Structure 1
Amino acid sequence: MQNLLRQSNAAQQRVQVFLDSTTPYTARRWGTTGALLALFMLRVIFGQGWYIVCYALFIYLLNLFLAFLQPKFDPSINEDLAEQDMEDGEPGLPTSASAASFPRGGGGGGGLMSGMFGATQPEEEFRPFIRRLPEFKFWLSATQAVLISLGCTITRAFDIPVFVPILVLYFFVLFGITMRRQIAHMVKYKYVPFDLGRKQRYGQK
């Protein structure tokens, strides 16, 4: 039993070392995942089945993509907490965010969670965008999901009969609603999840 555990730990370490070595090669990693996804789609098309597996895969990928676009610390949560503090009459904890730190609201204090997300800094200090789901974990989870989906196409046990047009229509409706909501969130709180090749420099406004 101990020998089996040692072999399992050694195998996990080798896999982790391999995954760590692929970290700098973003384009190659996503290219491999895209090729696996294309292989899965060809399997579904030519095999004329596993539509429910395909639907579940794309719903999962959509959830991963949304988590990739969202900030780790959601500013809407900070806003809700600030409103709750005002409704409850909380005086707020003493922080560096003083009356000068709130030029927009006109208030002199802050809630219990004021300044948590750095949105109230007096000099608009630059803070890098921290994702809720990092790119590497996004890629790893997506690749694992595609591989599992490919494995499901080996047997017809996962080929559950479904009405395909309804699944396709429902997926596009869900995609449109979720992306519209995410874009509205990005516009409201003025953040961009992509750097678009530009980096913020010290002293740059």
Structure 2
Amino acid sequence: MEGVGGDAASAVAPLGKWRNDFSKAFQYYLDRSTPHPVQRWLGTLVVAAIYVLRVYYVEGFYIVSYGLGIYVLNLLIGFLSPKVDPELEGLDGASLPTKGSDEFKPFIRRLPEFKFWYSITKAFCIALGMTFFSMFDVPVFWPILLCYWIVLFVLTMKRQILHMIKYKYVPFTIGKQKYTGKKPSPSGSAMPRD
């Protein structure tokens, strides 16, 4: 009896080793891709284009596309939202500045860019994989799904933009912030000192 159990355990050991090696190699390449956001997003656009072409040519899998759209919208909201929401959290000193005289606090996202990219890429890969199984091709009238998704997107983005305006934060920074110094007073030129 020991031989039978020993054979099963020895068959599982190489599978576990292979999984561990694959996980380490995957994490290594994922870590190496971190400082290259443009290349990462271009790769994601390629995967998204392949998915869109696959759905277009197969003329199906609209439910999968709708679910993918809702998931991406959810990720986008997390990406555009601050980590500490002034409406939800008490003012404990970690909130966004609301006045010009408040201390500058950097915008910290609820969902960091790398996790946002990784989640979207994973979602497109899973959705692409689902298009190879006919059980996920549920017949639906796709224009209704598209209209419903557009209405959801507009209402959600409107709420998010109003939140951004109310609490005066911009989730995007382009380049390094430059200090311009104090602006001259509008009362005219200063009098020379004697």
| TM superposition score normalised by structure 1 | 0.76
Please tell me whether the aligned partners of residues 36 and 147 of structure 1 are also in contact (alpha carbons under 8 angstroms): yes
Cα offsets for 1:77-115 (capped at 9, x unmatched):
23xx4xxxxxxxxxxxxxxxxxxxxxxxxxxxxxxx532
Q: Which runs of 5+ in 2 are unaligned?
A: 1-11, 184-194
Report the alpha carbon displacement of residue 187 of structure 1 after superposing the two structures with TM.
0.2
Q: Please tell me whether residue 165 in structure 1 is matched to residue 143 in structure 2.
A: yes
Please tell me whether the aligned partners of residues 126 and 200 of structure 1 are also in contact (alpha carbons under 8 angstroms): no
| Equivalent AA in structure 2 for residue 174 of structure 1 | L
Question: Which position in structure 2 is the counterpart of 1:125?
Answer: 103
How many equivalent residue pairs? 172
| Equivalent AA in structure 2 for residue 63 of structure 1 | N
The change in CA–CA distance for 1:43 and 1:186 in structure 2 (over 3 A counts) is same
Q: Please tell me whether residue 58 in structure 1 is matched to residue 69 in structure 2.
A: yes
The change in CA–CA distance for 1:68 and 1:60 in structure 2 (over 3 A counts) is same
Report the alpha carbon displacement of residue 59 of structure 1 after superposing the two structures with TM.
0.9
The change in CA–CA distance for 1:44 and 1:74 in structure 2 (over 3 A counts) is same
Report the alpha carbon displacement of residue 8 of structure 1 after superposing the two structures with TM.
1.8
Report the alpha carbon displacement of residue 125 of structure 1 after superposing the two structures with TM.
2.3
Please tell me whether the aligned partners of residues 59 and 171 of structure 1 are also in contact (alpha carbons under 8 angstroms): yes
User: Which residue of 51, 64, 67 maps to 1:40?
Assistant: 51
Tell me, in whole angstroms, the C-alpha distance in 1 between the residues paired with 2:167 and 2:153. Answer: 21
Question: Which position in structure 2 is the counterpart of 1:75?
Answer: 86
Question: Which position in structure 1 is the counterpart of 2:172?
Answer: 194
User: Which residue of 12, 21, 27 maps to 1:10?
Assistant: 21
Tell me, in whole angstroms, the C-alpha distance in 2 between the residues paired with 1:180 and 1:117. Answer: 22
| Equivalent AA in structure 1 for residue 167 of structure 2 | Y
Q: Please tell me whether residue 144 in structure 1 is matched to residue 122 in structure 2.
A: yes
Report the alpha carbon displacement of residue 31 of structure 1 after superposing the two structures with TM.
0.7
Tell me, in whole angstroms, the C-alpha distance in 2 between the residues paired with 1:36 and 1:16. Answer: 20
Larger Rg: 2
Question: Which position in structure 1 is the counterpart of 2:42?
Answer: 31
Question: Which position in structure 2 is the counterpart of 1:22?
Answer: 33
Please tell me whether the aligned partners of residues 98 and 168 of structure 2 are also in contact (alpha carbons under 8 angstroms): no
Q: Please tell me whether residue 134 in structure 1 is matched to residue 134 in structure 2.
A: no
Cα offsets for 1:106-139 (capped at 9, x unmatched):
xxxxxxx532326489963222111000100001
Cα offsets for 1:114-172 (capped at 9, x unmatched):
32326489963222111000100001010000000110111211100111111011000
| Equivalent AA in structure 1 for residue 165 of structure 2 | V
Question: Which position in structure 2 is the counterpart of 1:88?
Answer: none
Question: Which position in structure 2 is the counterpart of 1:107?
Answer: none
3-12 vs 21-30, which moves further: 3-12
Q: Secondary structure at the match of 2:87?
A: helix
| Equivalent AA in structure 2 for residue 169 of structure 1 | C
The alignment-based identity, stated in percent, is: 48
| TM superposition score normalised by structure 2 | 0.80
Q: Which runs of 5+ in 1 are unaligned?
A: 82-112
191-200 vs 143-152, which moves further: 191-200
Question: Which position in structure 2 is the counterpart of 1:185?
Answer: 163
